[in-house]
Structure 1
Amino acid sequence: MTQILNIGIIGSGGIAAAHARAYLDMNDVKIAGVADVIPGKAEEFIKRLGLEGAQAFDDHKDLLELDLDGVSICTPNVAHHRTSVDSLLADKHVLVEKPLAVTLDQGVEMVQVAKQQQKILTVGFQPRYDPNMQAVKDIVRSGELGNVYYAQTGGGRRRGMPGGTFVNKGLAGAGAMADIGCYSLDLVLNALGYPKPLTVSAFTSNHFGTNSIYHPEADKFEVEDFGVAMIRLEGGKVLNFKISWAMHMDSLGPTLFLGTDGGLKLTPAGSGPWSGVWDGGIGSISMYHDINNHHVDTTIPVQTHTIDIFKAKVRDFVVAIKEGKPAPIPGEEILINQAIIDGILRSSEIGKEVDIHIPVI
């Protein structure tokens, strides 16, 4: 007989609907309840998506009293920490949407509690399920590039600034860094094996978001829409990171891996003013190396696929719970991602390089 998992969803915005639809496609999952702090919103969500038998709550702690196997955390960024910790302490496995948290300290507590409770804490980076992203990781980790000493990543939208909770610092914590920059960092750090960051020197700005010509909520815009940083990593590696929600430019350049035996260049898929960042797929992969003292450029074919990468990440969470597997995208890894974003914001604020310290957990 198929084991049916009971799942709860905390938060009922747009990303929560994507989680719900993914669960609804599975015959071994039941959505038992939904919680949202706005009265009536969870109930409306349940009705709109046809979640038969699901209960609605205004307080996530009431939801956690149900017999749940796991929860999806789909709240604004500021609530990721508290709802995740409460869920873990209630002995529920957790899939939390990116970014992990708002601050490094919050992320540390989340990982500590998950370890203490022996529960899954996995983070929603669905681009990892793109076979081309996996191919890049395989190439970098294979050693074909030799010692990778430099990486460059990020991306820029010519125009692509969200609004609402995304631009409220009290709810989002950060802007472009937390929204799309975390994807760029995961692309490179995952390929490199998530080396620890040592120092960060950064600059951020919000020239476009605070200008009513470019954003309808300019008077409410409180986060960065652009950032650039130089990050020293353990093992003698350095990462050049840059991200932008809006700019007068077509691109901030490709993602690069420079190694002692070869180099790899990636461009993102998609076109138009909202493209150019790594929240989607890969457009091209090129390798540069030498053969018999000749400079050789090799185009690596981009795989076409029909994988729904969002559903794949949700399914992997379910499988990990059912089969007792580790977290598919461990909080311990994404804590490093969070530490870099935290360091970027601190460095930008004081105008000089800062050290990054991640406690042993």
Structure 2
Amino acid sequence: MRKIRVGIIGSGGIAAGHLRAYQAMDNVEIAAAADIVPGKARQFLDEAGLHDATAFEDHRKLLELELDGVSICTPNVSHYGTTIDALQAGKKVLLEKPMSVTLEEAVHMVQVSKDTGLMLSVGFQPRYDPNTKLIRDVVQGGKLGKVYYVEVGGGRRRGMPGGTFIRKELAGAGAMADIGCYSLDFALHALGYPKPLTVSAMTSNYFGSNPAYHAEASRFDVEDFGSAFIRLEGGIVLQFKISWAMHMDTLGASMFLGTDAGLKVTPYGEGPWSGVWDGQVGSMTLFHDMMGQHTHTPIPRIQHSLNVFEEKVKDFVRAIREDEPAPIPAEEILYNQAIIDGILRSAAINKEVDIDLPSHL
């Protein structure tokens, strides 16, 4: 069986996860890597023992190779341009989250994917947790009745990154782009990704911009907290909240309220960097009535040893080999990006904003 040839664009921390996942598969060859920092891609490959793979400083040179697909692991601000270049060069793409910096970029990325007929999959590995799949089955299986209200969002008591994550010129946004998109995907994927209509939001960065809390406070110009009230198609309201830092242990559990039952879900883990939907699921409880009485039923958590990050990369390779659609289609994540875009626009003007999406996408 012919090996799938892939390239990795960007060689930072997240790229190492892609590399390890590809190396764990016998049917994949990592042919090349690219990074704009001189020598960084070569070091990245050599440290992994990939001495025969080619290193580039210009990702466009990498895209001239015969490759089946590429992982894009660059800073957020370059997701758009690199993805467009890859699709137009005939490459299938696994793009790290967030999808883009602006809604306009995301719309164009989806359009180019459609025009070229090439897969654009976006990296939301928490979907591969069996418990996340179970939650989606419960929500979409009718057990809750009509779902009319959803509350979601994680909060780290103190978990602010640094470097490229905190500079708007490189990241586009802060907590929204880093962990907020995971929370949104958790809720929207469970609901079947209904179209967002309006957003009313606020954001702040009281902690990141304070030297008492962050060593790079002078360069911190993105949000470390945000909250939003989002109206979705189908008469659903989504209450969203996210935090990199706060004086609180948690922003609470997520919940799906339906006309027949409600589902409460807690995030997994403990400690100042936990409490967000970028990993496993904690407890799950169904609240319902039985024989005219209030009751609740704990849903047993599925125990597993899956590395969900590796599963994401494996699924991308499988879709390439079997010529299948994107495992996590950009058409869905477009709605995720539209909400983040709406949150930032609403927070900037302190008013509710409409979300306008092209009707043909």
TM-score, normalised with respect to structure 1? 0.99
Correspondence for 2:343: 344
Partner Cα separation in structure 2 for residue 182 and residue 255 of structure 1: 15
- Residues 20-99 of structure 1 correspond to what in structure 2 (within 5 A)? 20-99=19-98
Correspondence for 1:8: 7
- Residues 94-243 of structure 1 correspond to what in structure 2 (within 5 A)? 94-243=93-242
- Indicate the SS of the match to 2:8: strand
1:313 Cα offset (Å):
0.3
- Indicate the SS of the match to 1:230: strand
Partner Cα separation in structure 2 for residue 74 and residue 127 of structure 1: 17
Partner Cα separation in structure 2 for residue 291 and residue 207 of structure 1: 46
Partner Cα separation in structure 2 for residue 280 and residue 45 of structure 1: 26
1:294 Cα offset (Å):
1.0
Partner Cα separation in structure 2 for residue 17 and residue 248 of structure 1: 33
What root-mean-square deviation, in Å, do the aligned CA atoms of Structure 1 and Structure 2 show? 0.6
Residue by residue, what CA displacement relative to the aligned partner does 1:66-89 show, whole Å, maximum 9, x if unpaired?
Answer: 000000000000011000110000
Partner Cα separation in structure 2 for residue 355 and residue 320 of structure 1: 35
1:200 Cα offset (Å):
0.2
- Indicate the SS of the match to 2:153: strand
1:52 Cα offset (Å):
3.5
Partner Cα separation in structure 2 for residue 155 and residue 191 of structure 1: 16
Q: Aligned letter for 2:189?
A: N
Correspondence for 2:18: 19
1:49 Cα offset (Å):
1.2
Partner Cα separation in structure 2 for residue 3 and residue 219 of structure 1: 51
Residue by residue, what CA displacement relative to the aligned partner does 1:33-63 show, whole Å, maximum 9, x if unpaired?
Answer: 1000111111111111111321000000000
- Indicate the SS of the match to 1:68: coil
Partner Cα separation in structure 2 for residue 102 and residue 328 of structure 1: 22
Correspondence for 2:319: 320
Residue by residue, what CA displacement relative to the aligned partner does 1:117-150 show, whole Å, maximum 9, x if unpaired?
Answer: 1111000000000000000000000000000000
Q: Aligned letter for 1:241?
A: F
Correspondence for 2:288: 289
Partner Cα separation in structure 1 for residue 201 and residue 96 of structure 2: 25
Partner Cα separation in structure 1 for residue 201 and residue 350 of structure 2: 8
Partner Cα separation in structure 2 for residue 235 and residue 303 of structure 1: 30
| Unpaired runs of at least 5, structure 2 | none
- Alignment of 1:334 with 2:338, yes or no, is no
Q: Aligned letter for 2:107?
A: V
Partner Cα separation in structure 1 for residue 180 and residue 297 of structure 2: 28
- Indicate the SS of the match to 1:155: coil
1:296 Cα offset (Å):
1.3
Partner Cα separation in structure 2 for residue 288 and residue 46 of structure 1: 51
Residue by residue, what CA displacement relative to the aligned partner does 1:176-218 show, whole Å, maximum 9, x if unpaired?
Answer: 0000000000001001000000000000000000000100000
| Unpaired runs of at least 5, structure 1 | none
Partner Cα separation in structure 2 for residue 218 and residue 171 of structure 1: 16
Correspondence for 2:260: 261
Partner Cα separation in structure 2 for residue 310 and residue 249 of structure 1: 29
Partner Cα separation in structure 1 for residue 59 and residue 260 of structure 2: 52
- Indicate the SS of the match to 2:99: coil
Q: Aligned letter for 1:127?
A: P
Partner Cα separation in structure 2 for residue 22 and residue 198 of structure 1: 37
Correspondence for 1:271: 270
Correspondence for 1:248: 247
Q: Aligned letter for 2:353?
A: V
Residue by residue, what CA displacement relative to the aligned partner does 1:286-322 show, whole Å, maximum 9, x if unpaired?
Answer: 0001111111100001111010100000000000000
Q: Aligned letter for 1:266?
A: V
Partner Cα separation in structure 1 for residue 31 and residue 323 of structure 2: 21
Q: Aligned letter for 2:313?
A: V
TM-score, normalised with respect to structure 2? 0.99
- Indicate the SS of the match to 1:105: helix
Aligned residue-pair number: 360
